[in-house]
């Protein structure tokens, strides 16, 4: 029993020694229960062994136990202290190893996540760059299509304007034709009336002449010899002569009237032929313009389809760019969050280390971003070439009588009005447009009272060369060919000086 008490007492001393040892090294005893229990169990085992070895010699055992108490207490204390120290070191190493393992795992996971995120951003940038290249190519195509559309629209506007002018000229020409037909009808009626009067007067005069000749031996002489006086005789002779003169003058007057009306009718027929020829040309030109406009409109429709397709592609590429930008932005947001999280962790570890080292410090970082944003007076212009108007007229007059051929430009084999003027002026090195409408826009405008030989005299659908004295030379109609005529035979639209 005494031995048991002594063992318990020794056990208590071991525990106290272990606690004191831990306190000396600043170790919390609650953290190393296994070490303390081990020390206590060792002490108990030692006491039991000592008791067993003493046998029946209790005094010797007691002395031996008492004499070895200090040594046992010291050894136990040292063992407890060593165990506590080892336990503390083990705990610290375990904590550090766990922390390092955790940090390594986190670092490895973060690196892998960042690599995957960077690959996503790289792929998105590649797709975005490809889409941007495609978008630029499509935008260039759109610009090209729109440029062609604008050019085509400009051409269509010009054709529309030309057609509009042509339709106006056709309307004017139709009025001229109607007026000419009315005048021709009136002249035809006047000619018929004049011819009838001429025929009647001629018949009446024949009857009177016949009467006088048939009755010359009797009645005529009776009428003359039956005079009351010589004065009456002379009066009767004078009367007969006056009657004859009257008949002759009246017949001559009727003949002149018939000739004038015939000339007027011929002139109106020429004008009618010319107007009808011009109308034929206008109708052909109108058909050509309408065909050209229809073709241009078809081209424009084709361009509309191409433009719509290109714009759809551009929209798709723009959508792709927007989607890739969203992906890049999202990955950058995640990377920024990860960066901030790592900074927070590093800051927390630094603060923990600083608190442990009792030297607090803090660090931080900040970032900034920059943004940047994004009349009525006479017109008589001066001459500009060394070509004489008289020379032009003399040359042009050489071809009077040559044939009129629609669309022709040969001064000898045949030409139309604008082909005639174009070829005449080309002889002197002056280039004129091919149509009469275009020739009406070249050179400088001239007033009629200032017109000089060599000036172009322009009408609706016709053109001639002024030769002076109110006359022009022109390729008129297929029936009359190249001829001269009055410059005012039709309303003049403009006079142009190209010399």
> pLDDT of 381-390, one tens digit each?
999 999 999 9
SS (H, E, C) the chain: CHHHHHHHHHHHHHHHHHHHHHHHCCCCHHHCHHHHHHHHHHHHHHHHHHHHHHCCCHHHHHHHHHHCHHHHHHHHHHHHHHHHHHHHHHHHHHHHHHHHHHHHHHHHHHHHHHHHHHHHHHHHHHHHHHHHHHHHHHHHHHHHHHHHHHHHHHHHHHHHHHHHHHHHHHHHHHHHHHHHHHHHHHHHHHHHHHHHHHHHHHHHHHHHHHHHHHCCCCHHHHHHHCCCCHHHHHHHHHHHHHHHHHHHHHHHHHHHHHHHHHHHHHHHHHHHHHHHHHHHHHHHHHHHHHHHHHHHHHHHHHHHHHHHHHHHHHHHHHHHHHHHHHHHHHHHHHHHHHHHHHHHHHHHHHHHHHHHCCCCCCCCCCCCCCCCCCCCCCCCCCCCCCCCHHHHHHHHHCCCCCCECCCCEECCCEECHHHHHHHHHHCCCCCCCCCHHHHCCCCEECCHHHCCCCCEEEECCEEEEEEECCEEEEEEECCCEEEEEECCCCCCCEEEECC
Whether residues 246 and 395 share a domain: the answer is no
- Write down the pLDDT at residue 15: 41
pLDDT category of residue 212 using cuts at 50, 70 and 90: low
Distance of CA 202 to the CA centre of its chain: 81
Q: Please write the tens of the pLDDT for every residue from 15-61.
A: 444 443 444 334 444 444 443 344 444 344 444 433 333 333 433 33
Q: Is residue 111 part of a domain?
A: yes
Q: What is the dihedral of CA 322, 328, 332, 333, to 10 degrees?
A: 40
Check pLDDT > 60 for residue 201. Answer: yes
CA atoms within 13 A on the CB side of 333: 6
Percent of the chain having pLDDT more than 90?
A: 29
Q: Which residue has the higher pLDDT, 280 or 374?
A: 280
Mean pLDDT over each residue of the chain, to the nearest integer: 75
Whether residues 194 and 326 share a domain: the answer is yes
Q: Is residue 124 part of a domain?
A: no
- Check: CB of residue 408 under 8 Å from CB of residue 416: yes
Q: Please write the tens of the pLDDT for every residue from 422-459.
A: 999 999 999 999 999 999 999 999 999 999 999 999 99
Check pLDDT > 60 for residue 490. Answer: yes
pLDDT category of residue 188 using cuts at 50, 70 and 90: confident
- Write down the pLDDT at residue 118: 85
Q: Is residue 474 part of a domain?
A: yes
Whether residues 404 and 332 share a domain: the answer is no
Determine the average pLDDT of the residues in 126-149: 88
Whether residues 189 and 316 share a domain: the answer is yes
380: burial class by Cβ within 10 Å (0-12, 13-18, 19+)? middle
pLDDT category of residue 210 using cuts at 50, 70 and 90: low
Q: Is residue 359 part of a domain?
A: no
Highest mean pLDDT of the ranges 69-78, 85-94, 169-178, 380-389: 380-389
pLDDT category of residue 112 using cuts at 50, 70 and 90: confident
Q: Is residue 374 part of a domain?
A: no
Whether residues 285 and 216 share a domain: the answer is yes
Whether residues 342 and 440 share a domain: the answer is no
Q: Which residue has the higher pLDDT, 396 or 141?
A: 396
Q: Is residue 384 part of a domain?
A: no
Whether residues 169 and 40 share a domain: the answer is no
Q: What region does 26 belong to: left with phi over 0, alpha with psi -120 to 50, or beta?
A: left
Residue where a domain terminates, one of 56, 83, 118: 118
Residue 260: give its domain's CATH number: 1.10.287.2610
Q: Which residue has the higher pLDDT, 11 or 479?
A: 479
- Write down the pLDDT at residue 226: 62
Q: Please write the tens of the pLDDT for every residue from 318-340.
A: 999 999 999 998 988 888 888 88
Whether residues 163 and 259 share a domain: the answer is yes
Q: Which residue has the higher pLDDT, 23 or 198?
A: 198
Determine the average pLDDT of the residues in 220-245: 65
Domains: count for the chain: 3
- Write down the pLDDT at residue 74: 40
Whether residues 47 and 158 share a domain: the answer is no
- Write down the pLDDT at residue 495: 97
Residue where a domain terminates, one of 89, 118, 147: 118
Residue where a domain terminates, one of 90, 118, 146: 118
Q: Which residue has the higher pLDDT, 156 or 460?
A: 460
| CB atoms closer than 10 angstroms to residue 352 | 10
Q: Which residue has the higher pLDDT, 154 or 404?
A: 404
Whether residues 159 and 233 share a domain: the answer is yes
- Domain assignment of residue 397, given as a range: 389-497
- Write down the pLDDT at residue 236: 65
Tokens of residue 92, six digits? 């610290």
Determine the average pLDDT of the residues in 163-181: 87
- Write down the pLDDT at residue 392: 97
Check pLDDT > 90 for residue 398. Answer: yes
Q: Is residue 318 part of a domain?
A: yes
Check pLDDT > 50 for residue 499. Answer: yes
Q: What is the dihedral of CA 286, 291, 295, 298, to 10 degrees?
A: 100
- Check: CB of residue 412 under 8 Å from CB of residue 399: yes
- Check: CB of residue 454 under 8 Å from CB of residue 390: yes
Percent of the chain having pLDDT more than 70?
A: 67
- Check: CB of residue 459 under 8 Å from CB of residue 474: no
Q: Which residue has the higher pLDDT, 353 or 26?
A: 353
Q: Which residue has the higher pLDDT, 76 or 321?
A: 321
Whether residues 66 and 33 share a domain: the answer is yes
Whether residues 180 and 305 share a domain: the answer is yes
Q: Please write the tens of the pLDDT for every residue from 250-278.
A: 778 877 888 888 888 888 888 888 888 89
Check pLDDT > 50 for residue 369. Answer: no
Q: Which residue has the higher pLDDT, 336 or 226?
A: 336
Residue 467: give its domain's CATH number: 3.90.1720.10
- Check: CB of residue 344 under 8 Å from CB of residue 110: no
Q: Which residue has the higher pLDDT, 3 or 127?
A: 127
User: Model pTM?
Assistant: 0.48
| CB atoms closer than 10 angstroms to residue 136 | 12
- Write down the pLDDT at residue 32: 40
Q: Is residue 378 part of a domain?
A: no
pLDDT category of residue 164 using cuts at 50, 70 and 90: confident
């Amino acid at each position: 029993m005494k031995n048991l008490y002594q063992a318990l007492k020794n056990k208590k001393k071991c525990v106290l020694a272990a606690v004191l040892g831990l306190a000396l090294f600043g170790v919390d005893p609650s953290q190393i229960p296994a070490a303390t229990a081990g020390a206590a169990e060792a002490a108990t085992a030692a006491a039991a062994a000592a008791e067993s070895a003493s046998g029946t010699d209790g005094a010797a055992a007691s002395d031996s136990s008492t004499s070895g108490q200090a040594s046992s207490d010291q050894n136990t204390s040292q063992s407890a202290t060593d165990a506590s120290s080892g336990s503390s070191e083990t705990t610290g190493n375990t904590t550090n190893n766990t922390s390092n393992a955790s940090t390594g795992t986190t670092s490895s996971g973060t690196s892998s996540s960042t690599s995957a995120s960077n690959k996503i951003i790289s792929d998105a940038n590649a797709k975005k760059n490809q889409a941007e290249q495609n978008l630029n190519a499509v935008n260039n195509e759109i610009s090209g299509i729109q440029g062609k559309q604008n050019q085509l629209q400009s051409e269509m506007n010009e054709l529309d304007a030309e057609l509009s002018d042509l339709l106006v000229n056709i309307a004017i020409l139709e009025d001229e034709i109607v007026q000419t037909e009315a005048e021709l009808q009136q002249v035809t009626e006047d000619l018929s009336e004049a011819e009838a009067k001429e025929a009647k007067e001629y018949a009446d005069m024949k009857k009177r002449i016949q009467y006088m000749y048939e009755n010359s031996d009797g009645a005529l002489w009776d009428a003359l010899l039956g005079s009351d006086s010589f004065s009456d005789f002379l009066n009767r002779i004078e009367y007969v002569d006056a009657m004859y003169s009257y008949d002759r003058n009246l017949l001559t007057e009727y003949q002149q009237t018939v000739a004038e009306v015939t000339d007027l009718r011929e002139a109106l027929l020429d004008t009618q032929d010319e107007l009808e020829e011009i109308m034929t040309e206008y109708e052909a030109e109108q058909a050509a313009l309408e065909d050209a406009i229809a073709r241009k409109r078809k081209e424009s429709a084709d361009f509309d389809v191409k433009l719509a397709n290109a714009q759809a592609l551009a929209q798709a590429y723009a959508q792709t760019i927007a989607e890739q930008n969203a992906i890049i932005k999202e990955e950058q947001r995640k990377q920024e969050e990860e960066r901030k999280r790592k900074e927070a962790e590093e800051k927390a570890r630094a603060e923990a280390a600083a608190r442990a080292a009792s030297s607090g410090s803090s660090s931080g970082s900040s970032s900034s971003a920059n943004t940047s944003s994004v009349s009525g007076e006479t017109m008589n212009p001066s001459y500009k070439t060394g070509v004489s108007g008289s020379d032009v007229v003399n040359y042009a007059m050489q071809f009077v009588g040559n044939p009129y051929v629609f669309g022709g430009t040969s001064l000898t084999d045949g030409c139309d009005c604008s082909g005639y003027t174009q070829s005449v002026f080309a002889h002197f090195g002056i280039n004129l447009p091919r149509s009469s409408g275009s020739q009406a826009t070249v050179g400088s405008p001239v007033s009629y009272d200032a017109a000089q030989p060599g000036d172009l005299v322009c009408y609706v659908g016709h053109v001639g060369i002024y030769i002076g004295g109110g006359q022009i030379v022109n390729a008129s109609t297929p029936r009359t060919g190249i001829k001269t005529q009055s410059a005012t035979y039709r309303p003049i639209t403009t006079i142009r000086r190209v010399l």
